[in-house]
Structure 1
Amino acid sequence: MFTLKNNFKILSFVLIISCLNFLFFHIPFFNFVFENINYKSFSGVFVIASLVVLMIVLNAFVFFLLLYLSQRIGKFLLVLFFLMNAIAVYFVATYGIIVDESMIGNVFNTNYDESSSYFSYKMVLYLIFLGVLPSYFILRSKVERVSFKRFSILSSLTLLFAFVLVFVNASNWLWIDKNSKRLGGLAMPWSYVVNTSLFYIHESKKNEKEILLPDAKIMDNEKAVVVLVIGESARRQNFSLYGYSKNTNPLLSKTQNLFHFDANSSATYTTAGVKSILDHKETGDLYEILPNYLYRNDVEVIWRTSNWGEPPVHIKNYQDRAYLQTNCKEEYCNYDEVLLYGLKEQILASKKNKILIILHTSTSHGPSYNKKYPSQFEHFKPVCESVELSNCSQSELINAYDNTIVYTDYILHKTIEALQELDSYKSTLLFVSDHGESLGEKNLYMHGIPMSIAPKEQYEIPFIVWLPEDSSKKIKKFDMLSQYHVFHSVLNFLNIESPIYNEEMNIFKE
C-alpha cells in the first residue's frame, strides 16, 4: 500500500491542496470567465491572473486556518470538500447548472426517485478520481503543527496580499460584481457552502407561521369544479398549440373551447414556481396559499401529486403517488395518469358544492425523460436513454422530451373527458407549468439557472384553459399571463368573494 514517508510543512500542504482544488474543480469557472471577458486585452489577462492567484491563496488560507485550529477536524472538512466538489463539478459539467441558493433548494427538495435517476458511471469516476483519491492523500499525509506566532504572521501577510490584489483590481470590480452570482455558483467549495447557509437562513424564515388572508365568502350554491394541473418542466415552445412544428398536441388541438396564452414563470425551479402558481401576488412573505385558503373557507380541496416541492399544504385530502397506487393496478399507475384514478368518483362523492382539484405532475422532469411516459406514447424516435444528456444528440434529447409533452396532452385530454361527464357541475381546467426546461441550447440542460441570466427556454411556459362549450363563462383577451393569474381566476370561477380578489388578474368573464 502506498504510504507517505515525509512530513509536510503546513504551508506546503495547504498550497498543494489548494492547487489540487483549483485544478480539479474550476474548469467550468474559468470557461465562464474566458467566455465573458476579453482575455486578449491586458485588463482581461490581469483579471484572469488575479482570479487564479486569489483562488489559490484564499483557499489555502482557509485550509490553513482549519488545520491550525484542529488537524482532525480540518482533514475531515477537506475530505468532505473534495468529495462534495467532485459531485458538484460533475453536475456542473454534465448539466450546465450553477450551484446557487435555488439549486441548493432543488437538492434538498429532491426525493429518492429523482436523485437516483441521476446515477451514472461517469459520476462514480468523478467521485473516485477527483474525490476519493485526493481524500486518501489528505488522510495519509502528516502535517507539522505551527506556532501561534507563525500562524499570525502568515495569516496577516496572506490577508494583506489578498487585500492589495483586490484593491489593484478596482477598475474590474464592476465586471466581477455583474457576474458575481455566476462566479460564486462555480467556485468550489464555497458555492454550496455559502448557498447552503443562505438556503437554511431563508428556510427558517419561511417556516414562520403563514399569514392568513382575509376571510372569503361563497356567493352561491351552484356546483362548480376547477381542475388545476401544475405541469413540471413543460416549456411553451414544444407545444404544437403554440406553433411547434412537431405534433405534440394531437388531442388538445382537436378540443373545442380550448384557449392557450403565452406566460412566463416567476422562477426556474419547482419550489418557487409552484408557490407562485398558488400565491395571490408576488411577495417574499409566507401568505396563505390557494388550497389552504379555499379549504379554510369551506371549499372541497383535493391535492393529488406525483411530484414534490410545494409549499406546506394544510388540507384533508392530500394524496401522493404511493397513496393513489394502493388500489390502482393498471399499467398506467406507474405514470402520471395515476393522478386521474378514481378522480371522477371522488368529485361525485363530495358533499360540497365548490371543489378545487390540484394535480401536480412530474411528466417532463429530466434527466430520464424517456421513462416518464408509457411506451405507446413514444411518438418521436430515436430517444435519449442516458442521464448524461450531453452524451445524446440534441435530436434524441428533444424527441424524448417531446414524448413527455405528448403524454401531457393525453393526460389533459383525459381530464377534460372526465369533466365533460359531470353534467351537474360547472367545470373548467387550467394547465400551468412551474417553469421551462433547457435541452442543450447554449450547452445548458434542465432548469434552475438564476432568473437574472436564465435563457427563455427555462421560463417561457404554457398557460392552457378549457371550458365546456355551453359554459356561461368566457375568456378575456391577454397578450401575456403570469402564474399569479391562477389564484384570482379560481376565485372568480367558483364565485368566491374575497377582499384580496383582483379582477385584473382574473382570466374569466361572463
Structure 2
Amino acid sequence: MKLPRIQSAFLPLTAASFLVLVYNISFWKSFMAATGGFRASNLLVYLGSVLLLVFVFSGILALVNYRRLFKPVVIALLLLSSMTAYFMSQYGIVVDSSMVQNVVETDVREAGELFSWKMVQSVLLLGVLPSWLIWRLPVRYGSLRREVLVNVGLVAGSLLLATGLLFVLFKTLAPAVREHRELRFMLTPTNVFQATNGYLKQKWATPTVVAPLGTDAAKGSLWAAAGNQQRTVTILVVGETARSMNFSLNGYERDTNPLLAKVPSLVNFSNVSSCGTATAVSVPCVFSDLTRDGYSEDKARSKQGLLDVLQHAGLEVVWRDNNSGCKGVCDRVRFEDMSKPIPGNPLCNSEECFDEHLLEGLPEMIRNSTKDLVIVLHQKGSHGPAYWKRYPPEFKKFGPVCQTNELEQCSRESIMAAYDNSILYTDYFLDKTIKVLKEAGIPASMLYFSDHGESLGEKNMYLHGAPYIFSPEEQRKVPMMLWMSDSFSQRFHVDRSCLAARSGQQFSHDNVFHSTLGMLNVNTAVYNPKLDLFQACIHDA
C-alpha cells in the first residue's frame, strides 16, 4: 500500500489529534460529567477543550519533529496509549503513582490475569496498526535549519492558541479541574508520564538506612503474672481485596459467612476503612506507626514497623505469604513463601496455591516453637479479575460464575457471584485458622483485616487502586474481625463483651499497629493508647 507523502510541518498536529481523540474516551466521558453532563449548550466548551489539548500535545510533539526522531517517539506513544486506554476503559481505572507501583511490584502470575485476547486485539488495532502506518508514511523534510525554524514556529503557535483557548474557557474549566482532580490521572498518555515520575521520585527518595523503632519494647506486667507461664500465639491474617459490604456478618444478603457466624465470641468490626486502595500502599501503611494522613512510602520505608517492635519485645515473628510479597514490612523477620505451586499438592494447581496452603505445617510450627509467636498469613484472598481462580471447586456456591478476565463479557451478577464465592472460601479459611488455634491448647488470638476493597461495576468501575481522595467506598471499606481463646482474653484482661459493644464504631487501619501492641500487652514509647481499640476494654484483674 502506497501512502501519500506528507509535509513534516503537519505531523505534530495530526499525531496530537489522534492521541487526544482516539485514546481518551474515558477522559472525555469523565470530563463531560464534570462539566454538568452532555448537553447541546456545552458543545462549544467540548470543542474548545478538544482543540486546547490538541494544541498542547501538538506543541510538545513539535519539539521532537525531526527526521529519525519523530516516528520512534510517536510509535512509542501510540503503543503505550493503546495499552493504557484499554485498561482504563475495561476496568475503569485511573493512572497515578500508586497504579504504577502496583504494576512494578505485582508478580508475573497476577499480571498475567489482566491479559486477554481482547487486549491483544485492542493493542493491535489501536497501537500496532497505526504505528505501522506511521512507520511507512513518507515524510517530506527540509534542511535541518528550516526544520528548526518551522518547529519553533509550531511550538510558539500551538502554545499561543492553547493559551487563548484557556483564557476563553477558564471560567468553565477551572471549577471542573479543581473539583475533579481525577481528570489529570485520566488524560492519556500524560497520565503515564506523570504517574511514573511520581513513582520514581518516591523510589529514589527511599533512604537506604532503616531507622530503628520501638527498641524499648518489652512485655508488660500481664505476661509475668502468677500462672501466666504458657506460651501464646497470635495470628494476623492480612486479607486481599475483600470488601466489607460482601460479608454477611455485615448485613450482606448472601450467606457468605456461614461458618464465622457460628463462632462463639467472634467480634466483627463492621465500620473499618483502609489506609489505601492497593496492596502496595495499604500493607506498608497498616504495619507502620504512621496514620493514613501522615503516611508516605518513603516515611514507611525509612523506619521499622510493627513486626520489628514485636521482635524487640521478645516475640518470635513469622510471615507466611500466598500473595506477591510483604512490600518491605517483613524484611527483618522470618519469611516463608507459600505461593509457589507444589506438584501433587491438592491445595495447589499449576498456577497457584489456595489460601488453605498457608495453614499447612502451622500446628507443628506452633507446637515446636519455644517462644511466644506472632504469625502473619498474607492471603491471595479475592484478588481479581480472575475471582473464580481464588477458591476450590467445592466453594462454587453462587452462580452463574464469570470465568474470564475479560469482565465485559460477563454480567455484573456473574462477576459478583465469583467474587462472593471467594469470600465464602475466606470464611472457611478463617474458620479453619481458628480451629488450628483452638487445637493448639494455649492462649491464642486471631486478628483479620483486609488490605483494601474492590469495585465490582459500581459507577462502571472495576478492580481497585483508585486515588484515595476520590476512591469509591467499595475500595475503602474493609472487613475486620477478632477471635480470642478464653485463656487469652483472661490472661490479657480483655473484655470481649466490651469489644462487641464497640464493634460498630468507626475504626481504620490506623488502629492496627497500636491495637496489636495493646492486645499483646507490649510496652513501648511508640504505643499510642488513643489509637488502641482494645484500650477501653482491658480491665484490671
Give your verdict on TM over 0.5. Answer: yes
Aligned to 2:357: 338
* Cα pair distance change 1:359/1:40, threshold 3 Å: closer
The answer as to 2:459 corresponding to 1:442 is: yes
Paired residue type of 1:247:
D
Q: For residues 507 and 317 of structure 2, what CA distance do their matches in structure 1 show?
A: 24
Partners of 2:9 and 2:151 within 8 A in 1: no
Match of 1:7 among 5, 8, 11: 5
What secondary structure is seen at the aligned counterpart in 2 of 1:169? helix
Specify the alignment match of 2:48 in structure 1: 50
Structure 1: runs of 5+ lacking an equivalent:
none
Provide the C-alpha distance between the structure 2 equivalents of 1:429 and 1:31, rounded to a whole number of angstroms. 45
Work out whether residues 117 and 367 of structure 1, in 8 Å CA contact, stay in contact via their aligned partners in 2: yes
- 2:495 equivalent among 466, 471, 474: 474
Match of 1:500 in 2: 526
| Equivalent AA in structure 2 for residue 267 of structure 1 | G
Most deviating of 96-105 and 406-415: 96-105
Shift of 1:415: 0.6
Paired position in structure 2 for 1:177: 177
Alpha-carbon distance between aligned partners in 1 of 2:478 and 2:410, rounded to the nearest angstrom: 24
- From 135, 138, 142, the counterpart of 1:142: 138
Q: Which runs of 4+ in 1 moved over 4 A?
A: 39-43, 325-328
* Alpha-carbon distance, 1:74 to partner: 3.1
Q: Specify the alignment match of 2:91 in structure 1.
A: 95
Q: Which residue in 2 is equivalent to 1:160?
A: 160
Flag the 1:301–1:3 CA change in 2: closer, same or farther, 3 A.
Answer: farther
**Amino acid across the alignment from 1:280:** D
Paired position in structure 2 for 1:218: 219
Structure-2-length-normalised TM-score: 0.88
Q: Please list, as runs of the form range in 1=range in 2, the aligned pairs for 1:110-509 lying within 5 A after superposition.
A: 110-143=106-139, 144-145=141-142, 146-179=146-179, 181-215=181-215, 216-219=217-220, 220=223, 222=229, 223-261=231-269, 262-282=271-291, 283=294, 284=296, 285-286=299-300, 287-308=303-324, 310-312=326-328, 313-322=330-339, 329-331=345-347, 334-352=353-371, 354-423=372-441, 425-470=442-487, 471-472=489-490, 473-475=494-496, 476=499, 477-478=502-503, 479-508=505-534, 509=538
- 2:28 equivalent to 1:30: yes
Contact 2:511 2:533 survives alignment (8 Å): yes
**Residues 68-92 of structure 1: CA distance to partner in whole angstroms, max 9, x if unpaired?**
3xx3343222111111111111111
Change (3 A) 1:189 1:501: same
Q: Using a 3 Å threshold, how does the CA distance of structure 1 residues 95 and 480 change in structure 2: closer, same or farther? A: same
**CA pair 77-179 structure 1, distance change in 2 beyond 3 A:** farther
Q: Give the Å deviation of 1:297.
A: 4.2
How far off its partner does 1:489 sit?
1.9
- Do residues 61 (structure 1) and 62 (structure 2) align? no
Counterpart contact for 2:239–2:381, Cα < 8 Å: yes
Q: Is the partner of 1:436 in helix, strand or coil? A: coil
Deviations 1:375-418 (A, max 9, x none): 00111111011212132111111110000001000110111001
| TM-superposed deviation, 1:304 | 0.7
Gaps of 5+ in 2: none
Task: Indicate if the aligned counterparts of 1:236 and 1:461 stay in contact, CA closer than 8 A.
Answer: yes
Q: Give the TM-score, by structure 1 length.
A: 0.93
1:454 CA displacement = 1.4
**Preserved CA contact (<8 Å) 1:305 1:320:** yes
Tell me the CA shift for residue 211 of structure 1. Answer: 3.2
Answer whether contact 1:295 1:315 (CA < 8 A) is retained: no
SS of the counterpart of 1:421?
Answer: helix
Partner SS, residue 440 of structure 2: coil
Per the alignment, in what secondary structure is the counterpart of residue 66 of structure 1? coil
Letter in 2 for 1:264: S
Structure 2 contact 443–486 (Cα < 8 Å) conserved: no
In the alignment, is the contact (CA less than 8 A) between 2:448 and 2:481 conserved in 1?
Answer: yes
Residue 306 of structure 2 aligns to which amino acid in structure 1? L
RMSD of aligned residue pairs (Cα, Å):
2.1
* Aligned residue identity for 2:99: M
Change (3 A) 1:180 1:72: farther
Instruction: Determine if contact 1:230/1:359 at 8 Å carries over to the other structure.
Output: yes
Partners of 1:245 and 1:398 in 2: CA distance: 12
Figure out how many residues of one structure are paired with residues of the other and give that number. Answer: 503
Q: Could you tell me which amino acid in structure 2 is paired with residue 59 of structure 1?
A: F
Instruction: Decide which moves more: 148-157 or 479-488.
Output: 148-157
Deviation at 1:163, TM superposition (A): 1.7
